[in-house]
């Protein structure tokens, strides 16, 4: 990826190709596309203390002044946000904002698979054993993401969903189906960016970054491996659910400041992704979807 190459995605609602607005793009390209910048990246990505410090800065009351310019620059729909912008005590509080209950409805049909988050989607309709995920620039297997050959084995021949959240997206994530959610556990320790610019330079980011991993024994799509992947400047991934019974559309948790990614694995024969997503993913084109939107169905 060149220094000036523009990243495009397809907006599923309009069908149009859209150039991606990358916050702090110049800095991101310097960190991952220059020699000196990449040395700085390696230093910072190893240190959770950097993310905690950055998170602390985003929690300061003075950070509130960034909310209005941020919302205006990225054309956020403030009508769907739970609270007026001036009621958030910090930028981080606004970043992890909830939406009004009707803003992201989930389909009620049990055979419909809905997106668990807002973001840019890539799908893999069949995971051969040892297959690498179809993420722009990524080169990582299911076993590497789950940090276990044994736990990855049931997903050989299955399917995978990747949802990449940009900093301006709604950053809460949800359960795509009702079922029984197990406890979450943490993997990894680094904090690289998950933007394609970074993935091109560090293809194994999804196996290196801080991750939270949960099994969902869903009612309609089998046993789902649900992974949240942290990113550069993401201080934490907060779990708001309680292990046990959950319902479709229920909030699972949220990312604090930064862009982030969800990766969901499904067992063989459990999910058939929508044809437009399969076609675009085969071309390496991400598609922006919203939480609760249909992305597939039970075969």
Tens digits of residue pLDDT in 149-182: 899 999 999 999 999 898 889 999 999 999 999 9
Question: Rounded to 10 degrees, what is the CA torsion of 158, 181, 114, 262?
Answer: -70
> Is residue 288 flagged as an active site residue?
no
Residue-level pLDDT at 211? 82
Residue 207 and residue 162 share a domain = yes
pTM listed for this prediction: 0.84
Residue-level pLDDT at 60? 75
Residue-level pLDDT at 88? 94
Count of domains forming the chain:
2
SS3 state at 253:
strand
Residue 23, domain extent:
18-95
Query: Taking 70 as the threshold, does the pLDDT of residue 136 lie above it?
Result: no
Residue-level pLDDT at 205? 53
Query: Taking 50 as the threshold, does the pLDDT of residue 109 lie above it?
Result: yes
Residue 146 and residue 75 share a domain = no
Residue 91 and residue 117 share a domain = no
> Is residue 118 flagged as an active site residue?
yes
Query: Taking 90 as the threshold, does the pLDDT of residue 257 lie above it?
Result: no
Q: 192: pLDDT confidence band, cut at 50, 70 and 90?
A: very low
Which pLDDT tens digit goes with each residue over 15-63?
A: 899 887 655 444 445 444 555 554 555 455 445 554 555 555 566 778 8
- The length of the chain in residues reads 299
Which pLDDT tens digit goes with each residue over 268-297?
A: 999 999 999 999 998 889 999 999 999 999
Residue-level pLDDT at 2? 43
Q: Which of 63, 95, 127 is the last residue of a domain?
A: 95
Residue-level pLDDT at 10? 94
Q: Which of 90, 141, 169, 174 is catalytic?
A: 174
Greatest mean pLDDT among 3-17, 94-108, 201-215, 250-264 lies in 94-108
Average pLDDT score over residue span 124-130: 80
Residue 90 and residue 123 share a domain = no
Q: Which of 63, 118, 218, 281 is catalytic?
A: 118
Residue 244 and residue 206 share a domain = yes
Average pLDDT score, the chain: 81
Residue 196 and residue 67 share a domain = no
Within 182-289, where are the H helices?
196-201, 205-208, 275-282
Residue-level pLDDT at 284? 86
Average pLDDT score over residue span 97-108: 93
Residue 129 and residue 87 share a domain = no
56 in a structural domain: yes
Residue 122 and residue 86 share a domain = no
Greatest mean pLDDT among 124-128, 202-206, 229-233 lies in 124-128
With a pLDDT cut of 70, the percent of the chain lying above it is: 72
4 in a structural domain: no
SS3 state at 266:
strand
Residue 222 and residue 117 share a domain = yes
257 in a structural domain: yes
35 in a structural domain: yes
Residue 231 and residue 137 share a domain = yes
Residue-level pLDDT at 222? 97
Residue 213 and residue 147 share a domain = yes
**Dist. CA 248–CA 146, nearest whole Å:** 24
Backbone phi and psi for residue 273, each to the nearest 5 degrees, phi listed first: -70, 155
Average pLDDT score over residue span 252-256: 92
Query: Taking 80 as the threshold, does the pLDDT of residue 69 lie above it?
Result: yes
Average pLDDT score over residue span 226-239: 75
> Is residue 219 flagged as an active site residue?
no
Q: Which of 260, 274, 280, 281 is catalytic?
A: 260
Residue-level pLDDT at 127? 87
Q: 298: pLDDT confidence band, cut at 50, 70 and 90?
A: very high
3 in a structural domain: no
Q: 253: pLDDT confidence band, cut at 50, 70 and 90?
A: very high
**Dist. CA 206–CA 27, nearest whole Å:** 21
Residue-level pLDDT at 47? 52
């Amino acid at each position: 990826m060149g220094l000036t190459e523009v990243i495009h995605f397809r907006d599923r609602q309009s069908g149009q190709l859209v150039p991606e607005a990358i916050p702090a793009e110049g800095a991101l390209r310097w960190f991952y596309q220059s020699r000196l910048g990449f040395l700085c990246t390696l230093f910072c990505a190893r240190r959770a203390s950097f993310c905690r410090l950055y998170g602390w800065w985003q929690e300061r009351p003075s950070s509130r002044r960034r909310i209005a310019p941020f919302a205006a620059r990225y054309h956020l729909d403030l009508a769907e946000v739970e609270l007026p912008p001036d009621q958030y005590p910090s930028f981080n509080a606004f970043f992890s904002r909830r939406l009004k209950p009707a803003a992201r409805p989930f389909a009620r049909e049990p055979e419909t698979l809905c997106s668990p988050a807002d973001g840019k989607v890539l799908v893999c309709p069949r995971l051969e054993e040892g297959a690498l995920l179809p993420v722009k620039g990524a080169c990582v297997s299911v076993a590497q993401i789950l940090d276990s050959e044994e736990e990855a084995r049931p997903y050989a021949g299955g399917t995978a969903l990747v949802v990449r959240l940009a900093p301006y997206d709604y950053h809460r994530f949800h359960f795509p189906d009702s079922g029984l959610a197990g406890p979450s556990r943490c993997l990894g320790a680094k904090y690289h960016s998950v933007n394609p610019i970074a993935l091109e330079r560090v293809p194994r980011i999804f196996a290196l970054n801080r991750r939270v991993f949960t099994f969902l024994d869903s009612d309609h799509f089998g046993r789902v491996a649900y992974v949240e992947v942290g990113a550069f400047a993401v201080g934490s991934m907060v779990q708001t659910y309680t292990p046990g019974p959950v319902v479709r559309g229920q909030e699972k948790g949220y990312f604090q400041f930064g862009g982030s990614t969800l990766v969901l694995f499904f067992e063989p024969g459990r999910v058939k992704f929508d044809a437009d997503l399969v076609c675009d993913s085969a071309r390496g084109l991400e598609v922006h979807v919203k939480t609760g939107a249909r992305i597939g169905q039970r075969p």
